[in-house]
Amino acid sequence: MTDVFAWSILSVQMQAEVAVAEPFRACEPLINAAELVNKIVIVERGDCMFVDKVNYCIAVMYSQPRQPLGA
């Protein structure tokens, strides 16, 4: 069975710039949040649950006015 999160990513084509989270493990609020808006964010595994990493990245996404990826 495929994870719902992974399935939704695999079924959509997207194009965007890539950026690295700071801190790289993304287990706490991101200090470079402004640089991550509308980008695919790279984070390192470990130290906290994946869902925590996703929540910090999503917080960046919803703290800014929305625009489509790659726009």
Residue pointed to by tokens 């950026």: 19
Give yes or no for a contact between 30 and 57, defined as CB atoms under 8 angstroms apart.
yes
Q: What is the pLDDT of residues 24-54, one digit of tens each?
A: 998 988 898 888 888 888 888 888 888 888 8
Strands (E) in 9-63, as ranges, are 18-20, 40-42
> Which amino acid, residue 6?
A
> The whole model's pTM is what?
0.61
C-alpha 18/C-alpha 38 separation (Å) is 9
Q: What is the pLDDT of residues 17-26, one digit of tens each?
A: 889 999 999 8
